[in-house]
Amino acid sequence: MSSQLLKRFKSRRMTLPPESDCTRDTPASPDATIKRCSYIKPMFDFWQSLLAALERIAMLPSLIHSVFPSLSSRKRMRDAVRTYDRTMDDLLREIQRLFEAPLKPAKLLQMSGKLQEQFAPKLQASDICMLPSYNDKLPTGLEQGTYLALDVGGSTFRVAVVELSGKHPGAKSMRIVNMKSYTIDSSVRNLQGNAFFDWMAERIEAAIADPQVKKINGTQSLGMGLAWSFPVEQTSIRSGNLLAMGKGFLATEGTLGQDLSELIMAPCRKRNLPVRMDSIVNDASATLLSRAYEDPATRFAVILGTGFNVAVHLPTSALATSKYRGYPQKWLDEASHVLVNTELSMFGKNVFPTTRWDDALNENHVRPDFQPFEHMISGRYLGEIVRLIIVEAVQTAGLFSGELPEKLSEPYSLDTETLAAIEMDESKNSTEAIAVFQSRHPLSKPPTLHDIGFLCQVCKLVSRRAAAFLAAGIHSLWSLRITSEGLTPQTAERMAIGCNGSVIEKYPSFRELCQSHLNELTTASGAEPHAISLEIAVESAIFGAAVAVCCLEK
């Protein structure tokens, strides 16, 4: 992306029409404004009430019809005389103020500091975040072999044969030989307890029936590596206890705390599948392993797709000894570092300022407050924040002439991918953005240029805030790592971060914006420019699941 384009994206000010004196938060000349407002306000209120009464009369037929809403009644609603609490420009100005105010470097640094305060007790004791693994060393990149890798993500389950061939000049060191992908929709997310693991076993059975997979081990059982996109309390390199799952999954009903390996292996055995679980890692840790296989300087990995997480390679001493309960003495004697699944998504309560839309999202969530950070930045939630704003804008400011597209009244019906498509259209007439929105959320008349302009600005405000908050989160863990290594920002070496997930990989300008905030924050802390670089790690969960098995065989 050109630096000019980035500047435009980063520019703090969006061009909005000037506010009227009476609605401005801080009036230019308070006395004069108050005086003028003192007689304008009652007059305004009188006209508002009169219009509202007329509106009720004019809308009576459509109100009756709204019990059985039809396209024509929705059209009548739209065409009826409507008054709104405020203009769209007024509302947009408020949204802009709320979403941009926290993004100044000094404020982001403060958030990073507060996050570090939240880390401290969790590094001492917590069974849901700052979770150590049994992976102490990172791969050398020379390991070789062919493995069956499983990746349970928020919206897909993938089963792949992965070939690792070590470093050869000019050749790819990791290759997916064969992969089957199964959608995880809400019906799968709603499967409770063992029903979910049965569903997995059925898919594993289908995937290994492929002749290419059968070829790997002949008649011997297949070693599997699992990348699990949820927290897990590791009990060995190949097992771990199931912890609470976010992303709307119900698989923990009646199975919470049980051994994840056994939960998957039991239905596999019932089906006589020739497989065994060799390794379990969280998907963020898998991303770190996979990226480190290619670049030994990697110490961090970020996942930002449906969910959000960061894995870090930390000195073992960064975590209290009680965190290693049950670890073999040999491991404790030999390990200098440990791969930690931070579950960063669970931090951030009272750190990140919230808006009324964030609060509404949290209140209506199945697990309120479980993952405050994720609620503000991940792909599962960006669309929902924008949807809540749209609903308010339709009802109070006349967006889409007051018509709410039918589907948008349902929670989580606006995909983050639609936001990305709207932001992507930089043309003057927004033809593409209008077409995308109208095809996914039909209105009786397509959105006007003003409507789509409003929507596009809202998407940008929501996604830019997410990119900035992610930078604050990465900065906080970077600071933690530097301190626990006994380094300073000046003496710390440059660091690469492997990044995976639809938002960080594909959302327009997201990674570039986050990188630019990171540059500001790390230099403000005294580091050389570009102390951290965000690098895409393609298919890293599936590769990482294989690398984890491979490391085991070293």
SS3 256: coil
Return the residue of 112, 133, 282, 463 that touches ligand BGC, per CB under 6 A. 282
CA distance 174 to 545: 12
In the three-class reduction of DSSP (H, G, I as helix; E, B as strand; rest coil), residue 328 is classed as: coil
Which of helix, strand or coil describes residue 276?
strand
The piece of 205-213, 226-234, 257-265, 385-393 that touches ligand BGC (CB under 6 A) is 226-234
Identify which of residues 309 and 522 has a Cβ nearer to ligand BGC in the complex. 309
The single residue among 225, 231, 379, 405 that binds ligand BGC, judged by CB under 6 A, is 231
Residue 532 sits in the site that holds ligand BGC (CB under 6 A): no
Nearest to 296 by CA among 204, 169, 184, 167: 167
For the CB of residue 412, give the shortest distance to ligand BGC in the complex, in Å: 15
Q: How far apart are the first and last CA of the chain?
A: 41
Nearer to ligand BGC, 476 or 516 (CB): 476
Residue 377 or 461: the one with the smaller Cβ distance to ligand BGC is: 377
**Is 146 a residue that touches ligand BGC (CB under 6 A)?**
no
Residues 536, 537, 538, 539, Cα dihedral to 10°: -150
209-210-214 Cα angle (round to 5): 80
Report if residue 229 touches ligand BGC, rule: CB under 6 A. yes
Candidates 164, 251, 284, 514; binder of ligand BGC (CB under 6 A) is 284
Least separation in angstroms between CB 149 and ligand BGC: 16
**Does the footprint of ligand BGC cover residue 307 (CB under 6 A)?**
yes
Contact 225, 147 (CB under 8 A): yes
Provide the mask over 352-391, with x wherever binding to ligand BGC is found by CB under 6 A and - wherever it is not. Answer: -------------------x--x-----------------
Least distance to ligand BGC from the beta carbon of 311, Å? 8
Query: Is 309 one of the binding residues for ligand BGC (CB under 6 A)?
Result: yes
**What is the helix (H) or strand (E) element at residue 124, kind and residue range?**
helix 105-124
Question: Which is closer to ligand BGC, CB of 259 or CB of 343?
Answer: 343
Total number of residues that touch ligand BGC (CB under 6 A)? 16
Q: What tokens does 8 get?
A: 């435009």
Beta bridge partners of 276: 223
Nearer to ligand BGC, 183 or 219 (CB): 183
Question: Distance between CA 131 and CA 324 in Å, rounded?
Answer: 9
Complex with ligand BGC: residue 158 or 460, whichever CB lies closer: 158
Does residue 228 contact residue 279 with C-beta atoms inside 8 Å? Answer: no
Question: Which of 240, 246, 372, 508 forms a contact with ligand BGC (CB under 6 A)?
Answer: 246
- Choose between 230 and 478: whose C-beta lies nearer to ligand BGC: 230
- Which tokens is 326 given? 């049950």
**CA 372/CA 347 separation, integer angstroms:** 6
Which two tokens mark 287?
A: 């991303």
240 is a contact residue toward ligand BGC (CB under 6 A)? no
Q: Say whether residue 303 binds ligand BGC (CB under 6 A).
A: yes
Radius of gyration of the chain (CA): 26
CB crowding 223-247: b at 16 or more within 10 Å, else e: bbbbbbbbbbbbbebbbbbbbebbb
246 or 398: whose CB is closer to ligand BGC? 246
Q: Is 230 in the site for ligand BGC (CB under 6 A)?
A: yes
The amino acid sitting at 2 is: S
Residue at 299: amino acid letter: R
**β-bridge partners, 304:** 308
- Per CB under 6 A, does 283 bind ligand BGC? yes
Stretch that binds ligand BGC, among 36-44, 277-285, 313-321, 451-459 (CB under 6 A): 277-285
Of 247, 299, 441, 481, the one binding ligand BGC (CB under 6 A) is 247
Any contact of residue 290 with ligand BGC (CB under 6 A)?
Answer: no
Q: Among 280-288, 440-448, 453-461, 502-510, which window interacts with ligand BGC (CB under 6 A)?
A: 280-288
Directed axis angle between helix 449-484 and helix 88-100, to 10°?
Answer: 10
- List phi, psi (to 5°) of 92: -60, -40
Q: Determine the residue with CB nearest ligand BGC.
A: 307
Q: Which amino acid is located at 61 in the chain?
A: P
Is 302 among the residues that bind ligand BGC (CB under 6 A)? Answer: no
Tokens representing 384 are: 């929902």
**Cβ closer to ligand BGC: 283 or 423?**
283
The residue among 300 and 454 lying less far from ligand BGC, judged by its C-beta, is 300
- Sign, CA torsion 199/196/361/405: positive
Give the shortest CB-78-to-ligand BGC separation in angstroms. 39
- Is 73 in contact with 60 (CB distance < 8 Å)? no
User: Does residue 340 bind ligand BGC (CB under 6 A)?
Assistant: no
Asked if 447 is part of the footprint of ligand BGC (rule: CB under 6 A), the reply reads no
Q: Which is nearer to ligand BGC, 249 or 437 (CB)?
A: 249
Binding positions for ligand BGC, rule: CB under 6 A: 229-231, 246-247, 282-284, 303, 307-309, 343, 345, 371, 374
